[in-house]
Structure 1
Amino acid sequence: MEEKLMSKKKPAYPVSEALDGYLKHYNRKSEIPIFYDDLLRFSGSVVVYDNNDEDTLWIRVYYSEFDRKEIDDSLKKVYSILHSDGSNNIHQYLNVDAVDFCTFGNSKPFRIKIRNILNDNFTYFYIKRTDASRIYGLELEHMLSPYNLNFLVYKDTLIEEHIAGIPGDEFIKNMLPKCSEPEKAQLAKEFVKFNERCMIRLLGDMRSYNYVIVPTHDFDHVVYKIRAIDFDQQCFEGKLKVYRPQFFKENYQMVEMVREKLLRDSVDQYKLEERSMVAKRILSSGNRIKKLRAICKEDTISTEENIALLKEQIGTLTSDSNFSKCKTMGEVLDLALNFVRRNYEDVSMKQIIEQNIKI
């Protein structure tokens, strides 16, 4: 029988006063003219299908004529705040092409499609309910991954920019079989690194539909990168496996590809490379990540049961007894990041190769 990794539906946690101050200090907090609840006033909807006529689990919503103009103007303003200087000068060139509502998952986001009427270029952004877990996840992704993230928080509403890429489940089903053998080897390497990065910073639930594959053409070949797009499960679950994408059945083909394409030594090398990069980012993030970790240590973003289970499992994995002293999930995260940084600073690559020191 398959092990059930995820617990019951995760609750949304409120933003603490300390986290709110952090967001304001780092310009993540901005007054916006529309809230998540305003978008719930839609008067009708239709199902959104993909190119294969399959249900996408999104519905396209419609508003009354009375509400529509106000909502459109407010969404254009949000776009301007998120991507420009917040002025109204660009509104005349923008059109709100669609407002979609996701009926699947915890956050139930709205996806807004904004189009420039002069050239038909378009982009998306998302409106969600504010959740402290998600905010910690977004900030950690911004600092510890290779990618910067743009988002805004105001009261109970969170605005996130769109992360472009091919949804992992679609890529695995439709594009992975067509990849060349060298491309599969490169994808295997990226999955190992992605798997390691998620575990280090305790980002959970990276099933294939919660990340995207980003192809980039580089000279005569394509380079693939993997990016998380859902940060709802930051530091919540108790099972360590939840923070390792390799254990989700949706990623089975990716795991098999790693087994086929990479030797054990190569897997260890790529894991070490990723740990080293995360450690460097921790050091280079300076006071910003120190402040975030200090706030997170005092915050409530999980249950006592989950905290007890995770600190036990990570303590066993790392042989670090300090995890047993943790009282909050933020303390577990802080110790995990310290463990990675400490090993990077204390153990050189030469020592690892020549003395086979295990980290």
Structure 2
Amino acid sequence: MEEKLMSKKKPSFAVNERLNRYLAKYNRNTKIPVFYDDLLRFSGSVVVYDQHDEDTFWVRCYYPDFEREEIDNSLKQVYTIMHSDGSDDSLEFLTVDAIDYCTFGNSKPFRIKVRNILNDSFTYFYVKKADASRIYGLEFEHLLSPHRINFLVYKDTLIEEHIAGIPGDVFIEDHLPLCDNRAQTQIAKQFVKFNERCTVRLLGDMRSYNYVVIPTHDFDHVEYQIRAIDFDQQCFEGNLKVYRPQFFKENLKMVQLVQEKLQESSIEQYRKEERSLLAKRIINTRPRYKELLRCMINDHVSTQANVKSLRKDLYKYTNDMKFKRASTMGQILRTALDFVRRNYEDVNMKRLLESS
């Protein structure tokens, strides 16, 4: 199914000077002491298995002794830059427990596990090759989703914080069958909203292992949220279905849950709610949002064939003639988000006129 929806491999796009200036202005661009290529110099590795002894597609890397100390110190400094003021005061209390390398997917990231030896708590972050489309995805996630996200870019290296939660495929297989009726209804609602958010902001490839489910205990019940964790497919593919999680077979059980638990009127209500929230975030972050969009409009993050195909799909989906005039992925995204914002403002204006 995915082979028909998506290209076999998405290329990486360099970060241009305009986007670099944007990142520097908003404190996303800072000097760091280690590069992605430095971590590629591992001398050996072993497969990382999960609790069921299945291959996770991650390998644990080992480095020569004369390099490991320098790499560890550099990674600890990156941790303090991301989570503190970047000073060396806390370095002696930190240790790098593991450096794992992912052999699956486009970005081939390194996952770094850093532990505080004073209280034995630990956290993760990721080191990846800087890719412009991924950076746009991360920044739009920060501006337009309910979640904030922390990342840093330096030259050709991207440092990305870990997003905690239960991987979607694990949740669907192991946790969803144990949820009661109320919880399943709420999860169905959240999937509808997540599906709408991805579609409107053109974040693609949300197969179940590219998002997490986050349970939050609230008095006598558990609330659930669904959050994207992979931003590699921001505005690249030319098929609109790639930007709609409902069309991936890995999400079939979620789609069935929506069909079982929600009426059509409720589904439409939740879609409207999510579009309204997106419109509010666009309005509230307008100066930064518009600056980011201008960067993307003048950038190259896809192929011309994909641009033509996507604008055709979106015109059929919305009947908005403005999609036909879009010549870059940035213009397509601006048109999609403007479509949502205009509808929200029109409804508000109509309500104000009726009440006056």
* CA deviation vs aligned residue, 1:217-239 (integer Å, no higher than 9, x gap): 01100000000000000000000
**Does 2:305 match 1:305?**
yes
- Matched residues in 2 for 1:3 and 1:273: separation? 32
1:60, distance to aligned residue in structure 2 (A): 0.3
Q: SS at the partner of 1:347?
A: helix
Distance 1:350 1:176, change over 3 A: farther
* CA deviation vs aligned residue, 1:62-94 (integer Å, no higher than 9, x gap): 000010000000000000000000001000000
1:350, distance to aligned residue in structure 2 (A): 8.2
State how 1:30-45 maps to structure 2 within 5 Å: 30-45=30-45
1:197, distance to aligned residue in structure 2 (A): 0.1
Q: SS at the partner of 1:124?
A: strand
1:348, distance to aligned residue in structure 2 (A): 4.3
Equivalence for 2:150: 150
Equivalence for 2:84: 84
1:274, distance to aligned residue in structure 2 (A): 0.1
Distance 1:262 1:349, change over 3 A: farther
1:51, distance to aligned residue in structure 2 (A): 0.4
Runs (5+) with no aligned partner, structure 1: 355-359
What is the letter of the counterpart of residue 280 of structure 2?
K
What is the letter of the counterpart of residue 297 of structure 1?
I
What is the letter of the counterpart of residue 141 of structure 1?
E
- Matched residues in 2 for 1:323 and 1:144: separation? 21
- Matched residues in 1 for 2:43 and 2:21: separation? 37
State how 1:33-182 maps to structure 2 within 5 Å: 33-182=33-182
Deviation >4 Å, runs of 4+: 348-351
- Matched residues in 2 for 1:253 and 1:82: separation? 37
Distance 1:167 1:349, change over 3 A: farther
Runs (5+) with no aligned partner, structure 2: none
**Does 2:241 match 1:241?**
yes
1:16, distance to aligned residue in structure 2 (A): 1.1
- Matched residues in 2 for 1:139 and 1:340: separation? 19
* CA deviation vs aligned residue, 1:82-116 (integer Å, no higher than 9, x gap): 00000010000000000000000000000000000
Is the CA contact 2:42–2:61 (under 8 Å) kept in the aligned structure 1?
A: yes
**Does 2:198 match 1:198?**
yes
Distance 1:231 1:2, change over 3 A: closer
1:164, distance to aligned residue in structure 2 (A): 0.1
- Matched residues in 2 for 1:349 and 1:52: separation? 56
* CA deviation vs aligned residue, 1:279-304 (integer Å, no higher than 9, x gap): 00000002000000011111000000
- Matched residues in 2 for 1:47 and 1:260: separation? 40
1:3, distance to aligned residue in structure 2 (A): 7.3
- Matched residues in 1 for 2:350 and 2:212: separation? 35
Equivalence for 2:321: 321
Q: SS at the partner of 1:4?
A: helix
- Matched residues in 2 for 1:130 and 1:159: separation? 8
- Matched residues in 2 for 1:200 and 1:108: separation? 27
What is the letter of the counterpart of residue 305 of structure 1?
A
- Matched residues in 1 for 2:251 and 2:349: separation? 30
Equivalence for 2:267: 267
- Matched residues in 2 for 1:3 and 1:197: separation? 23
What is the letter of the counterpart of residue 63 of structure 1?
Y
- Matched residues in 2 for 1:141 and 1:203: separation? 9
- Matched residues in 2 for 1:95 and 1:304: separation? 46
Equivalence for 1:357: none
- Matched residues in 1 for 2:285 and 2:200: separation? 16
Deviates more, 1:341-350 or 1:131-140: 341-350
- Matched residues in 1 for 2:207 and 2:3: separation? 15
1:8, distance to aligned residue in structure 2 (A): 2.4
Is the CA contact 2:2–2:248 (under 8 Å) kept in the aligned structure 1?
A: no
